[in-house]
A and B are shown apart, each in its own frame.
Chain A
Amino acid sequence: MSIFKINEELPIKTYIINRAKLVAYANASGDQNPIHQDEAFAKSVGLENVIAHGMYTMGLVGQYVGRMAGSSAKVKEFSARFTKPVMVPADVDVQLVVSAKVIELTDEIARLEITATCGGVKVLGMAKAVILL
């Protein structure tokens, strides 16, 4: 029997994003684009401030999905659209709030519809995952 119920709202988890974490992600992922680290550079290309890598935000959501699945090895599909940049000012801990709903359930899989917000604003669109039960 599944641990999930159809239309179930899964627990909310909050992640902290700050400049130090963006540097750690840049080093771990190899994506050293300066718009994610250097405020002067970010502003020089028309951004309001340093922005988080879209893949960092999606990666944190992936951590959430793996945790809900019981193991990251159970995540079979994962997709998202980057609809709003996550601004990360210096010396600020930005909160990324993640939640999900079970929108499809079979004997083998659960499909989740995920919501990710910063300051009440959705930062990902069409975020979905398929996890093995």
Chain B
Amino acid sequence: MLNPDLVGRTFEGATSTTITAEAIAAFASALDEPETQLTPPTFAITISLAQSQSLLVDSGLNWNRVVHGDQRFVINNPLIAGAQIKCNSTIESARVVAGNEIVTVRSDLIENNEVAVSSWSTLVFRA
């Protein structure tokens, strides 16, 4: 079970990620998007989910048992090629329902000290 002391804590991403035009194009193409220059609305997941995974696995949760419960994005500034993004992840809540552990992580993708995109992922770790 997740240590309850972790709830409310923010973990700052150690390094920044530079978004490449190639990454945007590959992601857009995979989603049948003919316009491959702009980031699709869900692109932030390519950064936020990997960081949530390492954070929660380091905290003792088993990623092999994970199911994505729900997902939300608030996009203040669409990400663009060349943007340098730092990702800060906050464990907003953790609760156990019928043996399943339900954890919500908010990831703030920061560009030039401003939150460009916030992504909330609710992840269900099956009993």
Is the Cβ of B38 less than 8 Å from the Cβ of A73?
yes
B72 interfacial contact with A, CB 8 Å:
yes
Is the Cβ of B71 less than 8 Å from the Cβ of A72?
no
B66 CB, nearest partner CB in chain A, Å = 8
The answer, among A30, A76, A79, A129, for a CB contact under 8 Å with B50, is: A30
Is the Cβ of B72 less than 8 Å from the Cβ of A79?
yes
B29 interfacial contact with A, CB 8 Å:
yes
Is the Cβ of A78 less than 8 Å from the Cβ of B78?
no
Stretch from B7-15, B41-49, B89-97, B99-107 forming part of the interface with A: B41-49
Which residues of B have CB within 8 Å of A60?
A: 31-32
Which residues of A have CB within 8 Å of B73?
A: 77-79
B32 CB, nearest partner CB in chain A, Å = 6
Is the Cβ of B68 less than 8 Å from the Cβ of A63?
no
Is the Cβ of B38 less than 8 Å from the Cβ of A24?
no
B26 interfacial contact with A, CB 8 Å:
yes
Q: Which of B1-51 contact A (CB under 8 A)?
A: 23, 26-27, 29-33, 35, 38-42, 45-46, 49-50
Which residues of B have CB within 8 Å of A76?
A: 74-76
Is the Cβ of A72 less than 8 Å from the Cβ of B72?
no
Is the Cβ of B74 less than 8 Å from the Cβ of A77?
yes
Interface residue SS majority, chain B: mixed
B34 CB, nearest partner CB in chain A, Å = 9
Question: Residue-by-residue, is A56-77 near B (CB-CB < 8 Å gives 1, otherwise 0)?
Answer: 1011101101100001110111
A133 interfacial contact with B, CB 8 Å:
no
Counting from the closest, the 9 A-B pairs by CB-CB distance are: A79-B72, A62-B41, A81-B70, A75-B41, A28-B26, A28-B30, A54-B68, A25-B30, A24-B30
* A–B Cβ pairs within 8 angstroms, 28 of them: A24-B30, A27-B26, A28-B23, A29-B27, A29-B46, A30-B49, A31-B49, A59-B30, A59-B31, A62-B31, A65-B41, A71-B38, A72-B39, A75-B41, A76-B74, A76-B75, A77-B73, A77-B74, A77-B75, A78-B72, A78-B73, A79-B70, A79-B71, A80-B71, A81-B70, A82-B68, A82-B69, A126-B70
Binding site for B on A (CB under 8 A): 15, 21, 24-25, 27-31, 45, 53-56, 58-60, 62-63, 65-66, 71-73, 75-82, 126, 129
